[in-house]
Amino acid sequence: MLNGDQLHWLFVEIWYGLDNAPEDLGDTVVTIGVFDGIHLGHKRLIAAAVSDARARGVKSLLMTFDPNPVALFAPDKVPPALSTVSRRAELAEAEGIDAMLVVPFDKNFSSILAEDFVRTVVRDKLNAQAVFVGQNFTYGQKAAGTAETMPEHGCKCGVDVTIVDLLDVTAADSTERVSSTRIRGLLADGAVSAAASCLGYFYRVDGDVLPGQGRGGAQLGFPTANIDFAEGLAIPADGVYAAWFTVQPTAARPEPDPKGDIEFGVRYPAAVSVGTNVTFGDTDRTVEAYVIDRHADLYGTAGQVEFVDRIRGMEKFDSVEELIDRMNQDVADTEAILAKTD
């Protein structure tokens, strides 16, 4: 299942830890990396592995790490995550991956020598006929293994190795490398449209819908769904965004509100506020979605916010009336932006 108790079942097999990979795994084609966010560069790498696995008639396996390896070596510099493990699995499944192995990157794992990693993990444990990695991939103790050494190590073990080039995209008059680091920077700047160009999809934040301050509907006339997003997840810069909002069932709320007009699994236009509400002096950073012209009790369901474009930054208004006027304009701007997307 996905986020929290969200009732969204995946068909991709997921194993946590090397020891939990099944002994009867059979032959595989493996691709390895953190795969945070599974952006266009990752998708090219995964597509190559999946295509090779199908040609060989074996299972495609994605090996990822949680927590991020940075947490072991520089815990104070761990970057915000672009995806939870469950979201990563959802994205990997969409690219055709059959199974995903989630490895905790700890001291024991990091101490494996580079050549031993290819032999004991990739070949012996995962039964890999072939392995696919990116140009910037490193492995083994002190990251001694690189994309340059892996073909030699693979040859010694009888594992075919393919190094996939990193991906560049051209925007305006410049060419930029697609990377999770670049996407985090774009989100931090509120440039969600540019982030989507690197990801190949709208950046999404998931979470259970929790009660907020309660003023959205009662005081302002814009009832919002307050999203309880995962700790450590990358959240776009403070501001107001045009977004798509989807509600999913949970164990606590397996059915939609019978008195409302919001169905599970349907994308609805939404104006989304991110940050602290400076007009009311709030201090907690929130993600709140106003589903345009729809009404339902969403508490206890799971919400998914797909960020399409930024409308404006966070502003402080001198009166509630000024805020309401601006929110009406935000809704109009949202509808205009979303009318151009699907």
Measured from the Cβ of residue 54, the count of other Cβ atoms closer than 10 Å reads: 14
- Residue 211, SS3? coil
Q: What are the distances in angstroms from CA 159 to CA 28, 121, 154, 315?
A: 11, 12, 5, 57
pLDDT of 1 over the 50 cut: no
Domain locations in the chain?
A: 13-166, 169-338
Q: What share of the chain is helix, strand, coil (3-state, %, to 5)?
A: 30, 30, 40
CA atoms within 13 A on the CB side of 25: 28
Q: What is the mean pLDDT of residues 190-214?
A: 91
pLDDT at 214: 55
- Residue 31, SS3? strand
Helices (H), the chain: 40-56, 70-73, 85-94, 107-110, 114-116, 150-157, 180-188, 192-199, 215-218, 320-338
Reported as a single tens digit per residue, the pLDDT across 134-156 is 999 999 999 999 999 999 999 99
Which residues contact residue 117 at a Cβ distance below 8 angstroms, ignoring those fewer than 6 apart? Answer: 139, 140, 145, 153
The CATH T-level fold of domain 13-166 is: Rossmann fold (3.40.50)
Q: Which residue has the tokens 């931090």?
A: 188
End-to-end CA distance of the chain: 26
Whether the Cβ atoms of residue 320 and residue 328 lie closer than 8 Å to each other: no
For residue 316, name the pLDDT band (cuts at 50, 70, 90).
Answer: confident
CA distance 99 to 249: 25
Reported as a single tens digit per residue, the pLDDT across 76-102 is 999 999 999 999 999 999 999 999 999
Q: What is the pTM of this model?
A: 0.92
Whether the Cβ atoms of residue 80 and residue 240 lie closer than 8 Å to each other: no
CATH number of 169-338: 2.40.30.30
pLDDT at 211: 82
Q: Which residue has the tokens 């032999």?
A: 119
Reported as a single tens digit per residue, the pLDDT across 42-84 is 999 999 999 999 999 999 999 999 999 999 999 999 999 999 9
pLDDT at 217: 47
